[in-house]
A and B are shown apart, each in its own frame.
Chain A
Amino acid sequence: MHLAYPAVLSALLFCTGLYGVLARRNAILVLMSVELMLNAVNLNLVAFDVWLSKTAEETLHSGQALTLFTIAIAAAEIGIGLAIVLAVHRNRGTSDIDKLRDTAEGPGPDGSGSDLPDSDALTAEQAEKAEASA
């Protein structure tokens, strides 16, 4: 098989995931796009490992070992990421990335509009915490 087929497919999948990460608003959809990017890398690793295992004299099968490691790390990442997204959704009532701009520096392009609700949410949260700790 021509090596360019899996390499081109993996490049296209990676760029699809890149578009998803940049363009999506929901945090869970961003996580899905991250999975797409990781899978593109996995396909690259497997293809080059199969190529090298036939052409090289000695091979450690490093591509397939790294693919297994990537899959395990992706499983851990999706677990932690979903836990974080659920915690954010429980605290803020939204999982939209655009609306989580507490650490944004200065007024952004729509900063004057989004500053007030943010500070309101912050004060409400502080009041809640004060209540809870009292």
Chain B
Amino acid sequence: MTSAAATAHAVTLSAQGHGFLSPTGVEIAFLLVGLLTFGAALVTVTTRQLVHAALWLVVTLGGLAVEYLLLTAEFIAWVQVLIYVGSVVVLLLFGLMLTKAPIGRSPDADSGNRWAALTVAVAAAAALVWVVVDAFRTTWIDLDGAAAGSTEVTGASLFQNWVLPFEALSVLLLAALVGAIVLSRKAKAESSSPPVNSRAASGGSPSVPDSRNHPIEGTQPDGPQKPADPGAPAEQEGAR
């Protein structure tokens, strides 16, 4: 009882020790990095140069990693650097290249409903910030002591309490891997299906030079059917 009262008293004392007008060093660092992160995010969603948007996204994600470090969540910070800055941005850049994104300014990067979007976003930001500030005005994070998110703590909690979701997540990742492969293969198989069909009909692969005499044998039985087939010219073009 007395210890609980003592801790409650200590909590109120420590809460009174904080103040908006006397920010700690961690708070100042968090504020500066947060401003950088927010500015980079704004440039990401407003710039007209598509590749620059991806590069500013790197700044945003790196700034968030620094924020995780300031919140003593080290493992999350390094995972953020590895996965987001390391792979997701590279994937996005490859996507921009493969879709032939224009280098330089593209005038139609923003759609016509930009002002409606701006209204919605500003209204949502105002509401969220008001609610959050009002709710957590007197709440303080105690960053002293052992790190709350070191690799040891995170690993222990992940493999003691969260094993089943962890394994389910690996199945999800496998499904996503297979799905991405299927999605990228399908269009290629469709575009190259005439050669595949003609190869199957003629019984020989055109890429193998040794079997060049087989198509003649293979096409002979198909010969009578071909005049009745309206797609025969396209098929032969595909075979060539």
Identify the A interface with B (CB < 8 A). 1-9, 11-20, 22-26, 28-29, 31-33, 35-36, 39, 42-43, 46-47, 49-51, 53-55, 60-62, 64-65, 67-69, 71-80, 82-87, 89-91, 95-98, 130-134
The residue that B121 contacts in the complex, of A4, A15, A32, A62, with Cβ under 8 A, is: A15
Q: Apart from A32-B45, A64-B157, what 12 extra A-B contacts exist at CB < 8 Å? A: A4-B139, A5-B27, A7-B136, A13-B64, A16-B45, A18-B120, A19-B118, A36-B57, A42-B64, A61-B157, A76-B176, A82-B92
A97: chain B residues within 8 A (beta carbon): 111
Per the CB 8 Å criterion, the residue count for chain B at the interface is 102
Enumerate the 6 nearest inter-chain pairs by beta-carbon distance, A residue then B residue, closest first: A134-B231, A22-B117, A20-B45, A76-B176, A19-B121, A61-B157
Query: CA separation between A78 and B176, bound complex, in Å?
Result: 10
A1-B140, A53-B148, A83-B180 known; A6+B71 contact, CB < 8 A: yes
A75: chain B residues within 8 A (beta carbon): 83, 87-88, 173
Query: CA separation between A24 and B113, bound complex, in Å?
Result: 9
Query: CA separation between A26 and B100, bound complex, in Å?
Result: 12
B129: chain A residues within 8 A (beta carbon): 8, 11-12
Q: Which residue of A lies closest to B88 (CB)?
A: A78
A50:B184 contact, CB within 8 angstroms: no
B133:A26 contact, CB within 8 angstroms: no
B205 contacts partner chain A, Cβ-Cβ < 8 Å: no
Interface residues of B in 64-99 (CB under 8 A from A): 64, 67-68, 70-73, 75-76, 79-80, 83-84, 87-88, 91-92, 94-96, 98-99
A35-B57, A68-B79, A85-B95 known; A24+B121 contact, CB < 8 A: no
A2: chain B residues within 8 A (beta carbon): 18, 20, 27, 136, 139-141
The residue that A50 contacts in the complex, of B80, B83, B133, B148, with Cβ under 8 A, is: B148
A1: min CB distance to chain B, Å = 5
B98: chain A residues within 8 A (beta carbon): 86, 89
A91:B187 contact, CB within 8 angstroms: yes
B149 contacts partner chain A, Cβ-Cβ < 8 Å: yes
B183 contacts partner chain A, Cβ-Cβ < 8 Å: yes
The secondary-structure label for the interface of chain B is helix
The proximity string for B residues 181-192 relative to A, scoring 1 for CB distances below 8 Å and 0 otherwise, is 001101100110
The proximity string for B residues 138-179 relative to A, scoring 1 for CB distances below 8 Å and 0 otherwise, is 011111010011000110011001100100010011001101
A50:B141 contact, CB within 8 angstroms: yes
B103 contacts partner chain A, Cβ-Cβ < 8 Å: no
Query: CA separation between A78 and B91, bound complex, in Å?
Result: 8
The proximity string for B residues 42-53 relative to A, scoring 1 for CB distances below 8 Å and 0 otherwise, is 101100001001
A6:B67 contact, CB within 8 angstroms: yes
B155: min CB distance to chain A, Å = 10
The CB with the most chain A CB atoms within 10 A, among B24, B37, B70, B122, is that of B37
B177: chain A residues within 8 A (beta carbon): 79
Query: CA separation between A76 and B117, bound complex, in Å?
Result: 27
Query: CA separation between A74 and B231, bound complex, in Å?
Result: 44
A36: chain B residues within 8 A (beta carbon): 41, 44-45, 57, 60
